[in-house]
Structure 1
Amino acid sequence: MSAWLALLWIVEAVEQVTRGSLLWLGISPRQLEDLPQIYTAPLVHLDWQHLMGNSAPFFILGLVILLSGVWRWLVSTFASLTSSGLAVWLLSPPNTVTVGISGLIFGWLTYLLTRGIFSRNWRQIALAVVVFAVYGGILWGVLPGSPGVSWLGHLGGAVGGVAAAWFLHSTSERRRRLSSQGR
């Protein structure tokens, strides 16, 4: 996670030195040639304040998931980035460019909040309570309201996080139940 966070800071330094030359990596809605940018836009931020606001939740939430396994981290990251990027690409107003990693942060947050429900694991539910106490307030970001904030990216990421939790944890719960029934 430290390396990924360092990469975000290096990209922002390049962005600042080159005065916005990396904004082409952002998502332009409904431009087919810009569809791959759903995976590059999270690397770019508008300014240092934008990156600073995302850095702590990015590092902490990502680390918590990474500690539960690389596969879970990869699946939750891919699902969150994809759904966040697609929501922005499909639904954002024309002639806009969206950048930033907050869609992934929202995905990781909802993944952590819902995986205990799907797995029926009391330790994961307890962790969800702690995560909600610390970061639950940012969930308001899935609603429209703040100009310049991509609530569509937040909402899309949140949907991806729930989908990843369902995929990773309800299927493993089903497998456990099926194997115990077969004994």
Structure 2
Amino acid sequence: MKVKKDIVYNFYNGVVLYPFYLVILMWVAFYVDVELGLDAYKYGVFPREAKGLLGVFLSPFIHGSLAHLYSNTLPIFFLGAALFYFYRKISWKVLLLGYVFTGLVTWVIGRPSYHIGMSGVIYFLSSFIFFKGIIAKHYRLIAVSLIVVFVYGGTIWYVLPVKEELSWEGHLAGFLVGFVVALLVKVPKSNVVSYQWEQTDYIPEQDPFMRHFDAQGNFVSESEQLRRLEEELQQTQWQNIEYTYIYKEHKSNENDEME
């Protein structure tokens, strides 16, 4: 019986594996770039030029240095795990929307330079998880939002041009896209277990908990309930019950007669 309103969360391997795969792709791409000298930054987002559109899909896995790569590794892993755990049914949809539109917005608003790195997606996830938790008004999601603020709140300043070498446009794009996606994408209602009293066939008199309260809302103990029940039984006018019997004569068959 459904008695509590809550969102059902179940741990599954994808909570860890999917973010881990993203991290592996980032590191493999960096290793190949360094070993083969590909100058992969040229495949990043270059705003308002057709060649720069390829970076919408490739730039998150391209990093300019080991420090740059390392700084994005832990955030994408933990924020990705939070997304796949708390928003399992819409996680891939949300990640794909954030991945593509963060790159596109960066392509529109960015400076004429190559924009690379997973930080735009990280800002997207931070923004989405924060705003979705507030919009959903669920205590667990709000708690996750507060954790995101506590851990990554200081990075909000990097959506502004505080450092010339940082792609603040990518950060700003991720932040804005995360907010919009949090507004538009709905968490499936099938994830929600409703209160028993929210059911259409709910009858208060049949609820064991509600039986402990009278019509005025006063608490009634079990002994008091029994006393009131006895009084009701005593006041009930019982009618005489008539029993009608119909006698049917048994007719013996031929076998009985032969015996």
TM exceeding 0.5: yes
Partner of 1:93: 111
Q: For structure 2, list consecutive stretches of 5 or more residues without a partner in the other structure.
A: 1-18, 190-197, 201-259
Partners of 2:23 and 2:158 lie apart in 1 by 22
Percent of aligned pairs with the same amino acid = 27
Which residue of 145, 149, 155 maps to 1:138?
155
Partner of 1:9: 27
Partners of 1:8 and 1:114 lie apart in 2 by 27
User: What is the Cα deviation at residue 119 of structure 1?
Assistant: 1.4
Partner of 1:44: 62
Partner of 1:178: none
Q: For structure 1, list consecutive stretches of 5 or more residues without a partner in the other structure.
A: 173-180
Please tell me whether the aligned partners of residues 72 and 118 of structure 2 are also in contact (alpha carbons under 8 angstroms).
yes
Q: Deviations over 1:67-89 (max 9, x none)?
A: 12444322322232233212221
Partners of 1:152 and 1:47 lie apart in 2 by 19
Partner of 1:114: 131
Q: Which has the higher contact order (CA 8 A, sep 6+)?
A: 1
Please tell me whether the aligned partners of residues 89 and 188 of structure 2 are also in contact (alpha carbons under 8 angstroms).
no
Alignment RMSD, CA only? 2.6
Partners of 2:187 and 2:80 lie apart in 1 by 21
Label 1:71 to 1:20 Cα distance change in 2 as closer, same or farther (>3 A). farther
User: What is the Cα deviation at residue 168 of structure 1?
Assistant: 2.3
User: What is the Cα deviation at residue 169 of structure 1?
Assistant: 3.5
Partners of 1:47 and 1:124 lie apart in 2 by 34
Please tell me whether the aligned partners of residues 81 and 160 of structure 1 are also in contact (alpha carbons under 8 angstroms).
no
User: What is the Cα deviation at residue 104 of structure 1?
Assistant: 0.3
Please tell me whether the aligned partners of residues 38 and 82 of structure 1 are also in contact (alpha carbons under 8 angstroms).
yes
User: What is the Cα deviation at residue 11 of structure 1?
Assistant: 0.4
Structure 1 segments, 4+ long, off by >3 Å, are 169-172
Equivalent pairs, count: 179
Please tell me whether the aligned partners of residues 119 and 169 of structure 1 are also in contact (alpha carbons under 8 angstroms).
no
Q: Which has the higher helix share?
A: 1
Which residue of 139, 161, 169 maps to 1:152?
169
Partners of 1:170 and 1:73 lie apart in 2 by 10
Q: Deviations over 1:29-88 (max 9, x none)?
A: 111243132111101000111000010101000111011244432232223223321222
1:88 maps to a residue whose letter is T
Q: Which has more radius of gyration?
A: 2
Partner of 1:72: 90
1:23 maps to a residue whose letter is Y
Query: Which moved further from structure 2: 33-42 or 110-119?
Result: 33-42
Partners of 1:70 and 1:171 lie apart in 2 by 10
Q: What TM-score comes out, normalization by structure 1 length?
A: 0.86
